[in-house]
Chains A and B, each alone.
Chain A
Amino acid sequence: MSATTIPTTPYLTLASDIVARALKAGADDAEVTIHEGDEFSTTVRMGQVETLKESGSRGMGLRVLVASNNGYRVASTSTSDFTPEGIAHLVNGAIALARVTSEDPFAGLADASEFGQLEGDLQLFHEDVYSLPSAERIEYARRAEVAALAADTRITNSDGGSFDAATGRKVFANSRGFAGEYRASSCSISVSPIALGQNGEMQRDYWYTYARALKNLDTPESVGLEAARRTLRRLDARRVKTQQVPLVFSPEVARSLIGSIFNAASGDSIYRGASFFTGKLGQQVAAPSVTVVDDGTLIGGLGTSPFDGEGLPSRRTVIVENGVLVNYVLNTYTARKLGMKSTGNASRGLAGNPGIGPNNLFLVAGWQSPEDILRAVPSGLYVTSLMGQGVNMVTGDYSRGASGLWIESGELTWPVQEITVAGNLRDIFQNITAIANDLVFRGSVASPTLRIDGMTIAGE
Chain B
Amino acid sequence: MTNSPASTQQHKQYFFAKFGITERLLERCLGEALSAGGDYADLYFESIASTSIGIDESIVKSASQGVSAGCGIRVLSGERTGYAYTDDLSAERLLHAARTAALIASGPAKQPVAGFTETKTPSLYPAPAIDLDTDLSAKLDLIQRADRTARAYDPRITQVRAGYSDELRRILIAASDGTFASDTQPLARLSIFVLAKDGDRTARGTSGGGGRVEIDFFQTEKSPEHFAEEAARQAILQLSAVAAPAGEMEVVLGPGWPGVLLHEAVGHGLEADFNRRKTSAFTGLIGRQVASSKVTVVDNGVMPGRRGSLNVDDEGSATQETVLIENGILKTYLSDKLSSRLMNMPHTGNGRRESYQQIPMPRMTNTYMLSGDDAPEDILRSVRRGLYAVNFGGGSVDIVSGKFVFSASEAYLIEDGKITAPVRDATLIGNGPEALKYVSMVGNDLQLDEGIGTCGKDGQSVPVGVGMPTVKLDKMTVGGTSR
A binds B: yes
Write the residues of chain A forming the contact surface with B, with a CB cutoff of 8 angstroms. 45, 48-55, 57-59, 61, 74-81, 86, 89, 93, 96-98, 100-104, 107, 134, 157, 159, 194, 201-204, 234, 242, 272-274, 276, 350-353, 387-390, 392, 394-395, 397, 399-401, 403, 417-424, 456-460
- Knowing A395-B425, A399-B480, the reply to whether A53 touches B84 (Cβ < 8 A) is yes
B244 within 8 A of A: yes
A316 and B28 CA atoms in complex are apart in Å by 54
A271 and B28 CA atoms in complex are apart in Å by 57
* Nearest B-chain residue to A275, judged by Cβ: B202
B223 within 8 A of A: no
5 pairs of A and B residues whose beta carbons are closest in the complex: A420-B479, A401-B405, A388-B405, A78-B66, A242-B247
**Interfacial chain B residues near A78, Cβ < 8 Å:** 64-68
**Interfacial chain B residues near A272, Cβ < 8 Å:** 57, 159, 195
- Knowing A400-B405, A418-B430, the reply to whether A74 touches B61 (Cβ < 8 A) is yes
- Knowing A53-B359, A54-B100, A388-B395, the reply to whether A100 touches B60 (Cβ < 8 A) is yes
Q: Looking at the complex, which one of B68, B80, B132, B425 makes contact with A392 (CB distance below 8 Å)? A: B425
A242 and B481 CA atoms in complex are apart in Å by 10
- Knowing A100-B63, A194-B400, the reply to whether A388 touches B427 (Cβ < 8 A) is yes
- Do the beta carbons of B403 and A403 come within 8 Å of each other? yes
**Interfacial chain B residues near A61, Cβ < 8 Å:** 66
Q: Looking at the complex, which one of B57, B244, B401 makes contact with A399 (CB distance below 8 Å)? A: B244
**Interfacial chain B residues near A352, Cβ < 8 Å:** 52, 62, 64
Instruction: Report the minimum CB–CB distance from B77 to chain A (whole Å).
Output: 10
What's the A-B contact tally at a CB cutoff of 8 Å? 253
A74 and B281 CA atoms in complex are apart in Å by 50
Instruction: Report the minimum CB–CB distance from B245 to chain A (whole Å).
Output: 8
**Interfacial chain A residues near B359, Cβ < 8 Å:** 51, 53
A350 and B84 CA atoms in complex are apart in Å by 23
Q: Looking at the complex, which one of B53, B140, B395, B398 makes contact with A204 (CB distance below 8 Å)? A: B398
Q: List 16 A-B contacts (CB under 8 A).
A: A51-B81, A54-B83, A80-B68, A201-B401, A202-B279, A387-B398, A389-B394, A395-B204, A397-B424, A400-B427, A417-B403, A421-B479, A422-B246, A422-B427, A422-B479, A458-B246
**Interfacial chain A residues near B344, Cβ < 8 Å:** none
**Interfacial chain B residues near A417, Cβ < 8 Å:** 401, 403
- Do the beta carbons of B140 and A100 come within 8 Å of each other? yes
A349 and B250 CA atoms in complex are apart in Å by 45
**Interfacial chain A residues near B203, Cβ < 8 Å:** 394-395
- B73-98: CB near A (< 8 Å → 1, else 0) gives 00000011111111100000000010
* Nearest B-chain residue to A424, judged by Cβ: B481
A59 and B88 CA atoms in complex are apart in Å by 11
Instruction: Report the minimum CB–CB distance from A364 to chain B (whole Å).
Output: 29
A107 and B63 CA atoms in complex are apart in Å by 14
- Do the beta carbons of A242 and B61 come within 8 Å of each other? no
**Interfacial chain B residues near A242, Cβ < 8 Å:** 246-248, 483
B43 within 8 A of A: no
**Interfacial chain A residues near B53, Cβ < 8 Å:** 100-101
**Interfacial chain A residues near B67, Cβ < 8 Å:** 78-81, 86, 89
- Do the beta carbons of A395 and B427 come within 8 Å of each other? no
Known: A57-B87, A242-B247, A390-B407. 5 other contacts (CB 8 A): A74-B61, A194-B279, A418-B403, A422-B481, A458-B479
Q: Looking at the complex, which one of A96, A104, A203, A390 makes contact with B59 (CB distance below 8 Å)? A: A104
A93 and B49 CA atoms in complex are apart in Å by 12
- Knowing A242-B247, A394-B195, A458-B246, the reply to whether A100 touches B403 (Cβ < 8 A) is no
Residue picked from A59, A93, A394, most chain B C-beta under 10 Å: A394
Instruction: Report the minimum CB–CB distance from B263 to chain A (whole Å).
Output: 13
A194 and B277 CA atoms in complex are apart in Å by 11
Q: Looking at the complex, which one of B64, B395, B481 makes contact with A423 (CB distance below 8 Å)? A: B481
A96 and B60 CA atoms in complex are apart in Å by 14
B322 within 8 A of A: no
Q: Looking at the complex, which one of A80, A104, A400, A403 makes contact with B69 (CB distance below 8 Å)? A: A80
**Interfacial chain B residues near A100, Cβ < 8 Å:** 53, 60, 63, 136-137, 140
A234 and B402 CA atoms in complex are apart in Å by 14
- Do the beta carbons of A420 and B477 come within 8 Å of each other? yes
- Knowing A50-B79, A273-B202, the reply to whether A389 touches B424 (Cβ < 8 A) is no
- Do the beta carbons of B159 and A353 come within 8 Å of each other? no
**Interfacial chain A residues near B97, Cβ < 8 Å:** 55
B406 within 8 A of A: yes
Instruction: Report the minimum CB–CB distance from A86 to chain B (whole Å).
Output: 8
A103 and B61 CA atoms in complex are apart in Å by 8
B468-483 interface with A by 8 A CB criterion: 477-481, 483
